[in-house]
Amino acid sequence: MTAIFLACAGALAQGEVVGEIVVKGLTNISETTVLSTMRTKVGQIYQETQLAKDKSSLEALGVFQDVKVFGQLLEDKKWRVVVEVVEWPVIQSIDVSGNTVFDDAKILDTF
């Protein structure tokens, strides 16, 4: 009986609207990039299956180490979709030292 209740509660939650989307953890990638990659939009019906697809789309960008996408039901019965990401580190510079065999510029061109 508990399983039936949980399934019904999940089905009811699916009919509610997305009220906001919050993106956390960005440092170099723009929020616009994240939001435009997602098919979930504010004002649309909340769908767990679409959140799973959005997570896969964000992972496919190749710029995040970790992606979490989940919903939080708010008091006004709208959903907050939370996107938590961890970006891959960006290499700022490469220093070559101790090299006597190859030209430093040739080494740096490789990267």
Tell me the per-residue pLDDT of 23-36, one tens digit each, with 9 for 90 and over.
Answer: 999 999 999 999 99
Please give the C-alpha separations between residue 64 and each of 22, 25, 54, 82, 111, in angstroms, as whole numbers: 17, 10, 13, 16, 20
pLDDT bucket at 92, cuts 50 / 70 / 90: confident
pLDDT band at 102 (very low <50, low <70, confident <90, very high): confident
Range list of H helices, 1-111 = 2-13, 31-37, 48-60, 104-110
- In the chain, count H helices and then E strands: 4, 3
The rounded mean pLDDT for the chain is 87
